[in-house]
Structure 1
């Protein structure tokens, strides 16, 4: 596919999705620009769940789709899976061992997923999440650990996550001088919000992002959901 010149890389739930009027305003603004803005959805959902949401909420199809908290990357009109990223994400991945370790920890409920690109749990307490984190380190299981929303535990392959997937996307699919905006609202977005590109924390963000200090590349919007994305895009690129 042709290299992307302008990119919005955004989480879905609570960021791009959540305010229909704000989303219509954002997309209408993009339609007025001289050059198109490509869309990358970077989400914790799996592919089928994303497609359901796109149909239910009448969302535009993305140019790039990154699912399962950054463990699978799809591209093109037919959403072909990126084989290089898949190879990286499966090299040292041990989902069965992770599940076995988790069986001995109380307060963890396995999330029902269609595949094992990630292993995810609902934690009844931060103590349960921390116990799993410690056990995985003690057993020397290669992984990436993410705890967000005070409930969701995502165990990803080593080197996985939204931030690393975003960097791979930009390195392989985006022009070097492209205009980029990254948008998120929760803890599992933190790595991509701090990946070194212009980014926005929307006003409705979860409390876990409350203490993240804004800087020249990280903008804290006063508007929520897609309206916050539009506010940030105009902040970074409105004068161009």
Structure 2
């Protein structure tokens, strides 16, 4: 088993305990202990922008990451120190081809007459991220299908990422370059660092993590994930044959409940039992 590990994790309701479920005492302390090892590289993978990731690190006393994939995969930073975040321009160059020369404004205009779409705030948009709110009660499938048809007509290669913010009770929809997903960004990062699949673990909790959760990348679905997300993930890996790369945290490891960072640790121990046992003195 490899003696190094690239730990990639979503933030909200995965590492950050900002959902309704309880967090195990000492779970985040143990996570920080794990990430303090020279054998562990830490990457945060989030829908948040740089400013909001910084806020989360401060508010929840999270460990400083080595890398940050932000804005749902549209930005990539190498974090040299708390005050030195280096934007990785090669990632923007990689994803820019997908929109076929179209700008953020062009795509916003393309969808301007679709009922039910409400633009998110300016600070939640960027050059390669067009974000909307939808009512969680609204049937999103017809909207996604119509948007997909329009993108196809414009020969724009895009991903439509749908999720629900439980705390705000709001549907979230991101239009991204096809390769600017969490999955492609993690794969780009691990390959550029020379890490194999067996040296990488991703943890998530929601629909916007789904592409990674059901991919060949070893993944962990934390125990506080919604039942529908667990069901969808299981059905997807049953269909695509990646069942061996998905672990669903259930609690019990180190007497923790499997929610949030407890689930991340539990999943990492599932894939790398000897390394985690040594680093956490289990």
Same fold? TM cut 0.5: yes
Residue 211 of structure 1, CA deviation: 2.9
1:183 matched to 2:183: no
Could you tell me whether the CA contact under 8 Å between 1:5 and 1:174 is conserved in 2?
no
Match of 1:168 in 2: 188
1:211 matched to 2:232: yes
Match of 1:220 in 2: 248
Distance 2:218 2:163 in 1: 22
Counterpart secondary structure, 2:72 = coil
1:144 matched to 2:144: no
Q: 1:68 to 1:198 in 2, by over 3 A?
A: same
- 1 or 2, which has the higher helix percentage? 2
Which structure 2 residue ranges, 5 or more long, are not aligned? 18-22, 165-169, 238-242, 251-257, 276-282
Match of 1:16 in 2: 15
Distance 1:107 1:83 in 2: 35
Which structure 1 residue ranges, 5 or more long, are not aligned? none
Match of 2:174 in 1: 154
Moved over 4 A (4+): none
Q: 1:193 to 1:13 in 2, by over 3 A?
A: same
1:102 matched to 2:111: yes
Q: How many residue pairs get matched?
A: 235
Question: Of 196, 200, 203, which aligns to 2:220?
Answer: 200
Residue 81 of structure 1, CA deviation: 1.1
Could you tell me whether the CA contact under 8 Å between 1:193 and 1:200 is conserved in 2?
yes
Q: What does the per-residue CA deviation read over 1:148-192, in whole Å, with 9 as the maximum and x for residues that have no partner? A: 227111100132100000100010014348632110001111122
Question: Of 25, 28, 38, which aligns to 2:30?
Answer: 25
